[in-house]
Structure 1
Amino acid sequence: MKKSIIFVVALLLFSCSSEDTSNNEEAMYFPPIGSSTWETKTISNLGWNQDAVQPLLDYLELKNSKSFIILQNGRIVMENYFNGHTASTNWYWASAGKTLTATVTGIAEQEGYLSINNKVSDYLGTGWTNIPLAKENLITNKHLLTMSSGLNDALGDDVSPANLQYVADAGTRWAYHNVYVKLQDVVSEATGQTWTNYFNTKLRDKIGMTGGAWIQNGGLSVYWSNTRSMARFGLLALNNGKWENNQIINENYFRNATTTSQNINLSYGYLWWLNGKTSYHLPQSQFQFSGSLITSAPNDMYCALGKNDQKIYVIQSKKIVIIRMGNEADSSTFGLSDFDDVLWQKINAVIN
């Protein structure tokens, strides 16, 4: 009799344990390629705070947002559009699209077309800057990925050779500079394909970012897409560069991209911003700020931040991706503003 009781108790414990494990290990969902189908979850299913949803939406609308999405483990929990924007409307990523360039550069490296440790002039030839050859040859693709080229960041968006001037040796100074866009030329030269064609075939089409396009703006190529396409890229980032069973970008490269990349701005990877570090620098400033980039956000978050508050937030510990597109929320002209911190206070009220 005692043996039977012990067996039943053990069986019940095993069943409960198995159920808990299966719930905790729910497979990450990836929306089908070429389909508008996208699985959803509800706030109540997740045990989140429904009462905090409307204050979050009110704040987003007040702050000139056009769209907002939260994914949890790949499934849509919130998807909202404001001020006449729709699910099919394209909007610009601004500098949040730098992470697309970082990703495609990594794909080209894994395919053997280039090395990020090689100097840029190996691909573009000498004279791509207006600095002495010995200094130009110090600049590698990795310096462009990490904003440490040493070129003058105070001369505007023009990246023609005459406007790329020396300030410091590569690797000795961090400065937010649009010279990163030269990586698109490096990829094009290395692969023998146009940047757009290589991007479309190696990244966009493989994860279903349909309808997006690179559009020239003042000499720079800026990506435009609908909000779900941005969410698809965020989901790829959440899964360390893997889409279902297809490793789009080498996992080791992607982890390096979302880890501190140099010892000057600890909150910067390969064109990704990193939260939870002990200090950070901001665009057009050499001042080092103490503390975390966005204090109210999770410490393990990495993010793509663009002008006028375009946002991709990725939090692996919570299996969450958050997208915000719109006009500038406040008076900030750069990718980061106090909007991030207040927005995260509102998000935390929902998800915690």
Structure 2
Amino acid sequence: MMKSRIILLLSIIFLGSYGCSENEEAGEEQTQSDPDTEIPTETGEIYFPGTGTSTWETTSLDELGWNSQAETALYQLLDEKNTKAFIILKDGKIAIEKYFGSFTTDSIWYWASAGKTLTSFTVGIAQEQGLLNLNEPSSKYLGEGWTSMTAEEEGEITIRNQLTMTSGLRNNLLIFSCTDPDCLKYEAEPGTRWSYHNGPYTLLQDVIANAADTPFITYFNAQLRDKIGMNGIWIPNGDNNTFYSTARGMARFGLLNLNNGIWNDETILGDASYLTEMKTKSQDLNESYGYLWWLNGQDSHMGTATQEIFSGELLPNAPADTYAGLGKNDQKLYVVPSEGLVIVRLGEDAGENQLGPSSFDNQLWERISALIN
């Protein structure tokens, strides 16, 4: 009930703020927007929609040479699994955009932990601007006493540990999202234990805010959101800070990552080393985790709930170079550089109530692969 009220309220705010639907933008806004652009790359051209307009170029399955006979089966699975919005971009252009029930291009939804990728990208911007360094102790920006550990133990935790889920802080379902010092206790030496833990992650936003000497949301909007024309808003929810946007808003962020931090001709994040590290193995504990992104193509992977290590790659049915933002109730953002793909799925839980990866990922990729191959 609370979630529904938040979404209803945000829908009203979005309509008031943007003034027009995704399908009908005010003429004044269109004239002030950046034009649609195609950027040459090594593998072809990537199209970018303008930042102040709803216009978004499309391409057809026939033009792409995709298997249109697989489209119906894909939609059936999406519908059966409580999907609200689904988008496939091919080289930036919309190949598929499907909404279910009363959901539309203007409807907003929560990203859940897929929003961790936004924070990861923003950390990279802050480091590139010289505001922080991943190897610095988190206490430099959070202050001493942000945990209940000794000063020496606390000082061993770095920003990099927060980015990679290797803080070594004690974690269980009762304190999973808690950011109070009483909840943040020593479990293991930083860097020696991987544990999916919301509390230390959420505090990364305080690290950014203190490093930039400005509220996190203000910094995020100015440095990332507004530059790519992405709608969306962070909403506090207990100890968590949850991002809400339209499906197209998520697709814009995916497109930015597909083009390695460059939007049109503007570099949003130009630190090539950080961009590479963000979407490659960040430690040897969970090989399928980068800087808050989930990674495919690795020899093993872990889930969000246990310390068990599973053999094999995370998404066997997806291309090996796929990396993803994965959130509770199957909020999904996939980026596939080798195929020029960005894929968005928003909706209700597909059936397993997972905080990140679920079996739905492979089910979905089985249908996607049948479509694009």
1:108 aligns with 2:151: no
2:335–2:341 contact (8 Å) kept in structure 1: yes
2 CA distance for matches of 1:311 and 1:287? Answer: 23
- What secondary structure, in the 3-state scheme, does the structure 1 residue paired with 2:127 have? helix
Match of residue 229 from structure 1: 249
Q: Which string of whole-angstrom CA distances, capped at 9 and with x for unpartnered residues, describes residues 155-211 of structure 1? A: 23111111111100101100000111111001100111101100000000000102x
Alignment size in residue pairs: 330
Match of residue 34 from structure 2: none
Match of residue 190 from structure 1: 211
1:55 aligns with 2:73: yes
Match of residue 34 from structure 1: 52
Q: Which string of whole-angstrom CA distances, capped at 9 and with x for unpartnered residues, describes residues 297-350 of structure 1? A: 111100000000000001000000100000000123221111110110000110
- What secondary structure, in the 3-state scheme, does the structure 2 residue paired with 1:342 have? helix
Match of residue 199 from structure 1: 220
2 CA distance for matches of 1:24 and 1:160? Answer: 47
- What secondary structure, in the 3-state scheme, does the structure 1 residue paired with 2:371 have? helix
Distance change (3 Å), C-alpha of 1:122 and 1:36: same
Match of residue 180 from structure 2: 160
Which runs of no fewer than 5 residues in structure 2 stay unpaired? 1-39
- What secondary structure, in the 3-state scheme, does the structure 2 residue paired with 1:27 have? strand
2:113–2:355 contact (8 Å) kept in structure 1: no
1:61–1:83 contact (8 Å) kept in structure 2: no
Match of residue 104 from structure 2: 86
Distance change (3 Å), C-alpha of 1:25 and 1:268: closer
Give the alignment's TM-score, normalised by structure 1: 0.92
Deviating beyond 4 angstroms after TM superposition, the runs of 4 or more aligned structure 1 residues are 22-25
1:329 aligns with 2:347: no
Shifted more, 325-334 versus 92-101: the winner is 325-334
1 CA distance for matches of 2:305 and 2:156? Answer: 22
Match of residue 141 from structure 2: 123
Quote the offset at 1:241 in angstroms: 1.1
1:130–1:161 contact (8 Å) kept in structure 2: yes
1:134 aligns with 2:155: no
Query: Percent identity among equivalent residues?
Result: 48
Q: Paired residue for 2:195, among 171, 175, 200?
A: 175
2 CA distance for matches of 1:180 and 1:125? Answer: 16
2 CA distance for matches of 1:284 and 1:339? Answer: 17
Quote the offset at 1:25 in angstroms: 5.0
Q: Which amino acid in 2 is paired with 1:223?
A: F
Q: Which string of whole-angstrom CA distances, capped at 9 and with x for unpartnered residues, describes residues 21-72 of structure 1? A: x999532101100100111110000000011001101110110000000000
Q: Which amino acid in 1 is paired with 2:215?
A: T
2 CA distance for matches of 1:190 and 1:300? Answer: 33
2 CA distance for matches of 1:254 and 1:213? Answer: 24
1 CA distance for matches of 2:139 and 2:220? Answer: 22
Give the alignment's TM-score, normalised by structure 2: 0.87
1:262 aligns with 2:283: yes
Root-mean-square deviation (CA, aligned residues, Å) is: 1.3
Which runs of no fewer than 5 residues in structure 1 stay unpaired? 1-21
